[in-house]
Amino acid sequence: MLSRKDLFKDTLRKAAHAWKRIIELRLSEEEAHMLRSYVDQPAFTDLHWGMFIPAIKGQGTEEQHEKWLPMAYKMQIIGCYAQTELGHGSNVQGLETTATFDPQTDEFVIHSPTLTSSKWWPGGLGKVSTHAVVYARLITGGQDHGVHGFIVQLRSLDDHSPLPGITVGDIGMKFGSGAYNSMDNGLLRFDHVRIPRNQMLMRVSQVSREGKFVQSDVPRQLVYGTMVYVRQTIVSDASCALARAVCIATRYSAVRRQFGSQNGGPETQVIDYKTQQSRLFPLLASAYAFRFVGEWLKWLYADVTQRLQANDFSTLPEAHACTAGLKSMTTSVTADAIEECRKLCGGHGYLSNSGLPELFAVYIPTCTYEGDNVVLLLQVARFLMKTVSQLGSGKKPVGTTAYMGRAEHLMQCRCEVERAEDWLKPSVILEAFEARAFRMSIACAKNLSKFSNPEDGFSELSPDLLEAAIAHCQLIVVSKYIEKLQQDIPGKGVKRQLKILCNVYALHLLHKHLGDFVTTSCITPKQGALANEQLRLLYSQVRPNAITLVDAFNYTDHYLGSVLGCYNGNVYQRLYEEAWKDPLNDTVVPDGYLEYVWPILKQHIRTARL
Amino acid sequence: MLSRKDLFKDTLRKAAHAWKRIIELRLSEEEAHMLRSYVDQPAFTDLHWGMFIPAIKGQGTEEQHEKWLPMAYKMQIIGCYAQTELGHGSNVQGLETTATFDPQTDEFVIHSPTLTSSKWWPGGLGKVSTHAVVYARLITGGQDHGVHGFIVQLRSLDDHSPLPGITVGDIGMKFGSGAYNSMDNGLLRFDHVRIPRNQMLMRVSQVSREGKFVQSDVPRQLVYGTMVYVRQTIVSDASCALARAVCIATRYSAVRRQFGSQNGGPETQVIDYKTQQSRLFPLLASAYAFRFVGEWLKWLYADVTQRLQANDFSTLPEAHACTAGLKSMTTSVTADAIEECRKLCGGHGYLSNSGLPELFAVYIPTCTYEGDNVVLLLQVARFLMKTVSQLGSGKKPVGTTAYMGRAEHLMQCRCEVERAEDWLKPSVILEAFEARAFRMSIACAKNLSKFSNPEDGFSELSPDLLEAAIAHCQLIVVSKYIEKLQQDIPGKGVKRQLKILCNVYALHLLHKHLGDFVTTSCITPKQGALANEQLRLLYSQVRPNAITLVDAFNYTDHYLGSVLGCYNGNVYQRLYEEAWKDPLNDTVVPDGYLEYVWPILKQHIRTARL
């Protein structure tokens, strides 16, 4: 309920308080990260720790590390990550800001040549950061060497005023009333701002004193390692956000009763309606599925890191495609699912104190940052087409595309389901998802081959390619869930419940994408109907444990931040109490009554001063 | 960017100003309605004019009209519509507020017996309304006669303070930063509040001086006529809201360029990407489709009204089911489509000044009010099942269910499409949609018949029934669009464009619900692939006229309220200018810097007072 200015000031206060505690308690980096994430509000510190420092670590030389990192770790400087511009987001190679080397002074001149080259969106830039890693086109001797990173001081460390040549400000309000409005997403323009040559991040490329551009022998693929890491955390976060929304909707669905009262008895809990179950339980299953695929991605990142250290880049393209696809798929599903959970809470879900509106508003940028979800899926599709094209060449597909190695089988296999319960077999589900994903890729490849120019074909068929990429990503999640179930899982009956959810996850996807499965002849219409029948039975099995399954996420009421999702289910009392806290209820007669309502009621509106 | 209190005060000011102009300009009721709707912000006046007055008109006696309407028309009293309670929304029959007749004093005693009986959500109730139509259980002589409406004064006309026994306030913040936060959605509790007997709305039922409950001979079906009217306006509004979002996304997609630069030339307009087209153009087509079905609903309402006046109730159930279904389907699609348009605007769509976040936040309650969308679809499904069950009885299905009369044909017909262009024939499309809708209904009816208790079956199969209802509603929209194209349409080439959009509308639905069409054997997988191919060709035909097709909605920049959607396409300049208007940019150094940032930078945080 705060104005933008008050909200922002409050965020600064929280960030300062968090930092104070981190120092007082001598927290480790990991602990500090956890403390900040539990503040649960976007702030400039996210960018300082999550982007500015990692950029210097990843792209800076050891010398640069020694100079900048100690200051950054102590927050003697506060940094942000100034990449996107008004005119360019996804196409990083199209950035327009220039960094021109001046051999006379041994400096780079950072400049914004056009309006669209204004840096736009970087968090922490608008009002707080003293420094930024700025991405700009490196120009030496009149030659453009593409986009590189530069450390640029933006504001005075004495009085915080912008340095000469720098125009900086906030880009304005964003979705929601809280959400990212606590963040000073900023704009930034340079008018021939000079920085010393050694502030170019020079791990991968260097500019010499004479202005000579040199590429070092550090493999560029190293960048992908970081990407795999960042996207792995995004997938884990997707699971957490989804679990939060599902926890609220599930608990409230058990409290809320509507219709179905017989002989004056209580009405039916809305969680007992099949329409509610068929929308809610697949989301519950997805929250678990994303958690398991997130855990697996952690393993994948470790594996990739180990290989990189041994100069083995063989699995990198597949790992990159896989994380890109999972980032895209899980965040898109989560964004939609949060809104679906809000709808599942009926009218009261629209209240801010349900927690769902702001959860939605703060989550949705995830679909855009670190790679726009559609652009990422197209990268996956490109990788799939490449994999398909190499199938004949003897080059074996690896990792999550290994299934494509069984091309002959997957093109011929027929689903053996005869009764609804046959759909409970993991092998049956897995084969159906593999065959569907593979056949969709093959169909795309076939259609692509009809075009004389492959790029024209790729662009023309891109909607179909997106669908093939999604089918592949869904297969990954299903298969990793099934793998998880082959492990030991402690707790009595836990594995059984997780198996049920795994089947719910797979069969709801099968029902949703029935057209894919049937038109590729992976299953028959009859088998599709049996899957739907089995799905209904599974919902009945989820129902008795639904509350336990969301309690298991272990969110405190404080963190959940939802009146509808409170643990003890005392929803109506809480709603009533919360209502009175609205500022509008400070007075019985609202501010503005005398000026604007009274003259209407008393028929004085013609002469009223409005 | 206003706080809740300031936003609300500002809304009161706008409402007063609008009322002043309405009086000064002597506007007709229709003109006044238009003026208010162009203020384009939810306010208490919406409920006064849209619910309070119509409720008295529809449910009050002539005597009551004479007493209350003149005061209401002059706004000497301001009213709201107090139906929903904390514990009951959809299930109106479950409302708990009581109105007990006291024959001793000839009064009703209005009372809130439980916490959940608190009135909750009524707009205009929280801070402004002096009166309300309150829905409560009528109790006379210890007998409960169900829910009826009562006119209750809430606040003093002298000083606006709540009358004795009345607790009233605002229910708090809602989704978004603006949206419905300009509305004082309220809560209301009664502690034995007494009103004269003649304040029960007595057109349909009466309570006599002795406390005898009497039903008048006014047909209850009249209520349905009003429902048809209200839902028809909701469908028209859906088209307007969708058109607004599509207009923004389409214009910005033509301005925005990303990737695809060749030899230093300009990058590709994002509207030229097939992935963008395949998401955007179906929404453009839907905006037109909803407009035409909205126009047809106006005709339907007129037809129903005429029949009611002639005591012909025969078409009412069908008209009621049809409007319920269309309300549900068009508002659900529109809510999702607004968010999809925001995504189609990439990162900048997340800025408030894109107009899309608030359009979404203000639109989504439409999916809940005037009938929850899922509950409505279940009503449609129930009507469809009834229609199917009567097919053998010789009772001919009417109106939008008339197609079910051709049962034999629809169960046997086979789609004749052999080449992609065959999908352009309206008759082919219509038959495919009719067969699909019919076969889905029949399949549901068959599965229902396996249950010994039909209600158990209905509840168990409700997810499938929802899908059948949606198929039916989509058929209505497709068929009304096709009917529209059989009429004369002025303007050179206009009809051709509208035909293309009609095909886009139908074929994108066919692709989206391919599983339905194929598993019911309405089309073959091959025909599905041909439809998809044709769809791609159609997108290319929409592209050259896409901008004109959204300009035709004729929104002013002022009303559109979107920097990204501005008519002249000067998006980047506008974004840059708007950014500086944020309050955070009032000062170079933000409020809070000295207290919370400086101590961090200067390593004084341990001793700082936070």
Domain-located, residue B21: yes
What integer pLDDT is reported at residue B159 of this predicted model? 96
Contact state of A579 with B169 under an 8 Å Cβ cutoff: yes
Residues B311, B195 share a domain: no
- Per CB-CB distance under 8 Å, the chain A contacts of B562 are none
Contact state of B589 with A361 under an 8 Å Cβ cutoff: no
* B285 has pLDDT over 90: yes
Domain-located, residue B579: no
Q: Domain tally for chain A?
A: 2
* B249 has pLDDT over 90: yes
Task: State how far the Cα of A416 lies from the Cα of A423, in Å rounded to an integer.
Answer: 9
Domain-located, residue B109: yes
Task: State how far the Cα of A347 lies from the Cα of A356, in Å rounded to an integer.
Answer: 12
- Which of A1, A5, A137, A602 is most worth mutating to test chain B (most B CB atoms within 10 A of its CB)? A5
Q: Give yes or no: B370 in active site.
A: yes
Sign of CA dihedral B461, B467, B470, B471: negative
Closest residue on chain A to B262 (Cα): A94
* B548 has pLDDT over 80: yes
Facing A576 at nearest CB: one of B74, B118, B374: B118
Residues B145, B274 share a domain: no
Beta strands A213-215 and A205-207: pairing type? antiparallel
Is A548 known as a binding-site position?
no
Tokens linked to B288: 């037109």
- Per CB-CB distance under 8 Å, the chain B contacts of A274 are 459-463
Contact state of A84 with B347 under an 8 Å Cβ cutoff: yes
What integer pLDDT is reported at residue B100 of this predicted model? 98
H helices present in A215-273, as ranges: 222-255
B424-434: b (≥16 Cβ within 10 Å) or e = bebebbbbbbb
Residues B256, B148 share a domain: no
Three-state SS for A495? helix
Facing A572 at nearest CB: one of B116, B517, B532: B116
Point out the domain boundary residue: A530, A547, A564: A547
- Per CB-CB distance under 8 Å, the chain B contacts of A516 are 514-515
Residues A163, A15 share a domain: yes
The separation between CA B75 and the C-alpha centre of its own chain, rounded to angstroms, equals 27
| Closest Cα in chain B, distance from residue A169 (Å) | 6
Tokens linked to B225: 């006529």
Mean pLDDT of B465-469: 98
Three-state SS for B110? strand
Domain-located, residue A326: yes
Closest residue on chain B to A12 (Cα): B596
- The mean pLDDT of chain A is 96
Closest residue on chain B to A347 (Cα): B368
Closest residue on chain B to A444 (Cα): B529
Helix (H) or strand (E) holding B188: strand B186-190
Mean pLDDT of B335-346: 98
CATH of the domain at B512: 1.20.140.10
Instruction: Kindly write down the DSSP assignment for every residue of B313-345, as one continuous string.
Output: -TTHHHHHHHHHHHHHHHHHHHHHHHHHHHHHT
Task: State how far the Cα of B318 lies from the Cα of B298, in Å rounded to an integer.
Answer: 15
Closest residue on chain B to A117 (Cα): B572
Q: Band of the pLDDT at B368, cuts 50, 70, 90? A: very high
Q: Partners of A152 in the beta sheet?
A: A132
| Closest Cα in chain B, distance from residue A582 (Å) | 5
- Per CB-CB distance under 8 Å, the chain B contacts of A271 are none
Task: State how far the Cα of A83 lies from the Cα of A149, in Å rounded to an integer.
Answer: 9
Query: Strand ranges (DSSP E) for A185-341?
Result: 186-190, 193-196, 205-207, 213-215
Percent helix, strand, coil in chain A (nearest 5)?
Answer: 60, 10, 30
Contact state of A77 with B130 under an 8 Å Cβ cutoff: no
Question: If you ran DSSP here, which 8-state letter would residue B174 be given?
Answer: B
- Per CB-CB distance under 8 Å, the chain B contacts of A120 are 575
Point out the domain boundary residue: A547, A573, A593: A547
What integer pLDDT is reported at residue B308 of this predicted model? 87
Residues A449, A324 share a domain: yes
What integer pLDDT is reported at residue B584 of this predicted model? 96
Tokens linked to A335: 């964004």
The separation between CA A229 and the C-alpha centre of its own chain, rounded to angstroms, equals 13
Residues B329, B362 share a domain: yes
Domain-located, residue B359: yes
Contact state of B590 with A74 under an 8 Å Cβ cutoff: no
Facing A588 at nearest CB: one of B157, B161, B610: B161
- Per CB-CB distance under 8 Å, the chain A contacts of B519 are 514, 518, 525, 528-529
Domain-located, residue A607: no
Q: Which domain holds residue B98?
A: 4-211
Task: State how far the Cα of B172 lies from the Cα of A338, in Å rounded to an integer.
Answer: 21
Angle at which helices B525-542 and B494-512 cross, to 10° = 140
Residues A177, A258 share a domain: no
Facing A91 at nearest CB: one of B19, B169, B259: B259
> Are the beta carbons of B334 and B238 closer than 8 angstroms?
yes
Q: What separation, in Å, do the N-terminal and C-terminal C-alpha atoms of chain A show?
A: 26
| Closest Cα in chain A, distance from residue B188 (Å) | 11
Task: Say whether the ipTM exceeds 0.95.
Answer: yes
Contact state of A16 with B529 under an 8 Å Cβ cutoff: no
B299: exposed, middle or buried (Cβ count in 10 Å: 0-12, 13-18, 19+): exposed
Q: Which amino acid is at B62?
A: E
What integer pLDDT is reported at residue A261 of this predicted model? 83
- Per CB-CB distance under 8 Å, the chain A contacts of B162 are 588
Q: Which amino acid is at B444?
A: C
| Closest Cα in chain B, distance from residue A171 (Å) | 4
Task: State how far the Cα of A12 lies from the Cα of A4, in Å rounded to an integer.
Answer: 12
Share of chain A above pLDDT 90, in %: 92
Task: State how far the Cα of B250 lies from the Cα of B245, in Å rounded to an integer.
Answer: 9
- Which of B153, B175, B362 is most worth mutating to test chain A (most A CB atoms within 10 A of its CB)? B175
Facing B463 at nearest CB: one of A88, A278, A529: A278
CB atoms within 10 A of CB B254: 18
CB atoms within 10 A of CB B71: 16
* B346 has pLDDT over 90: yes
Task: State how far the Cα of B583 lies from the Cα of B578, in Å rounded to an integer.
Answer: 11
Among the options B107, B339, B370, B533, which is catalytic?
B370
- Which of B27, B114, B171, B504 is most worth mutating to test chain A (most A CB atoms within 10 A of its CB)? B171
H helices present in A390-425, as ranges: 407-412
> Are the beta carbons of A111 and A191 closer than 8 angstroms?
yes
Residues B99, B132 share a domain: yes
Angle at which helices A316-344 and A373-389 cross, to 10° = 140
Contact state of A352 with B20 under an 8 Å Cβ cutoff: no
Facing B3 at nearest CB: one of A1, A89, A576: A1
Question: Which residue ranges of B make up the annotated binding site for FAD?
Answer: 84, 123
> Are the beta carbons of A201 and A149 closer than 8 angstroms?
yes
Contact state of B572 with A87 under an 8 Å Cβ cutoff: yes
Task: State how far the Cα of B399 lies from the Cα of A166, in Å rounded to an integer.
Answer: 68
Q: Band of the pLDDT at B218, cuts 50, 70, 90? A: confident
Beta strands A143-153 and A131-140: pairing type? antiparallel
Q: Which residues are CB-contacts of A335 (< 8 A; sequence separation ≥ 6)? A: A360, A363, A364, A366, A367
| Closest Cα in chain A, distance from residue B421 (Å) | 18
Q: What are phi and psi of B201, to 5 degrees?
A: -75, 115
* B226 has pLDDT over 80: no
Residues B95, B20 share a domain: yes
Share of chain B above pLDDT 90, in %: 92
What integer pLDDT is reported at residue B303 of this predicted model? 94
A255: exposed, middle or buried (Cβ count in 10 Å: 0-12, 13-18, 19+): middle
Q: What are phi and psi of A106, to 5 degrees?
A: 60, 40
- Per CB-CB distance under 8 Å, the chain B contacts of A588 are 160-162
Query: Strand ranges (DSSP E) for B454-597?
Result: none
**Tokens 């929803």 — which residue?**
A571
Which residues of A are known to be catalytic?
Answer: 370
| Closest Cα in chain B, distance from residue A299 (Å) | 31
Tokens linked to A516: 């894919």
Q: Band of the pLDDT at B610, cuts 50, 70, 90? A: confident
Angle at which helices A462-485 and A274-309 cross, to 10° = 90
* A411 has pLDDT over 90: yes
Domain-located, residue A499: yes
Task: State how far the Cα of A17 lies from the Cα of A34, in Å rounded to an integer.
Answer: 14
For A60: left if phi > 0, alpha if psi spans -120 to 50, otherwise beta; the answer is: beta
What integer pLDDT is reported at residue A217 of this predicted model? 78
Contact state of A600 with B90 under an 8 Å Cβ cutoff: no
Task: State how far the Cα of B315 lies from the Cα of A104, in Å rounded to an integer.
Answer: 88
Contact state of B2 with A3 under an 8 Å Cβ cutoff: yes
- Per CB-CB distance under 8 Å, the chain A contacts of B23 are 605-606
Three-state SS for B526? helix
> Are the beta carbons of B149 and B59 closer than 8 angstroms?
yes
| Closest Cα in chain A, distance from residue B6 (Å) | 9
Q: Partners of A140 in the beta sheet?
A: A143
Mean pLDDT of B256-281: 93
Mean pLDDT of B441-467: 96
Residues A199, A141 share a domain: yes
Q: Which amino acid is at A45?
A: T
* A218 has pLDDT over 80: no
| Closest Cα in chain A, distance from residue B342 (Å) | 10
Residues A285, A170 share a domain: no
What integer pLDDT is reported at residue B263 of this predicted model? 79
**Tokens 């980096």 — which residue?**
A29
Contact state of B347 with A513 under an 8 Å Cβ cutoff: no
Contact state of B8 with A590 under an 8 Å Cβ cutoff: yes
What integer pLDDT is reported at residue B287 of this predicted model? 98
Q: In terms of Cα–Cα distance, which of B334, B302, B333, B328 is closest to B315?
A: B302
Helices (H) and strands (E) in chain B, counts: 21, 11
Is A331 known as a binding-site position?
no
What integer pLDDT is reported at residue A143 of this predicted model? 97
Helix (H) or strand (E) holding A303: helix A274-309
Q: Band of the pLDDT at B309, cuts 50, 70, 90? A: confident
Point out the domain boundary residue: B211, B232, B250: B211
Query: Strand ranges (DSSP E) for B54-172?
Result: 79-82, 98-102, 107-111, 119-120, 131-140, 143-153, 166-170
- Which of A571, A584, A589, A597 is most worth mutating to test chain B (most B CB atoms within 10 A of its CB)? A584
- Per CB-CB distance under 8 Å, the chain A contacts of B120 are 575
Task: State how far the Cα of A31 lies from the Cα of B208, in Å rounded to an integer.
Answer: 73
> Are the beta carbons of B85 and A258 closer than 8 angstroms?
no
Contact state of A592 with B87 under an 8 Å Cβ cutoff: no
What integer pLDDT is reported at residue B550 of this predicted model? 98
Q: How far is CA A193 from CA A135, A151, A152, B254, B419, in A?
A: 14, 12, 9, 33, 62
| Residue pLDDT, tens place only, A434-485 | 999 999 999 999 999 999 999 999 999 999 999 999 999 999 999 999 999 9
Residues A239, A267 share a domain: yes
* A262 has pLDDT over 90: no
CATH of the domain at B137: 2.40.110.10
Please write down the HEC assignment for all residues of A260-292.
Answer: CCCCCCCCCEHHHCHHHHHHHHHHHHHHHHHHH
Contact state of A572 with B86 under an 8 Å Cβ cutoff: yes
Contact state of B518 with A521 under an 8 Å Cβ cutoff: no
Q: In terms of Cα–Cα distance, which of A177, A350, A433 is closest to B369?
A: A350
Size of interface A-B (CB pairs under 8 A): 381
- The mean pLDDT of chain B is 96
Mean pLDDT of A106-118: 98
Domain-located, residue A214: no
Q: In terms of Cα–Cα distance, which of A323, A305, A324, A321 is closest to A313?
A: A305
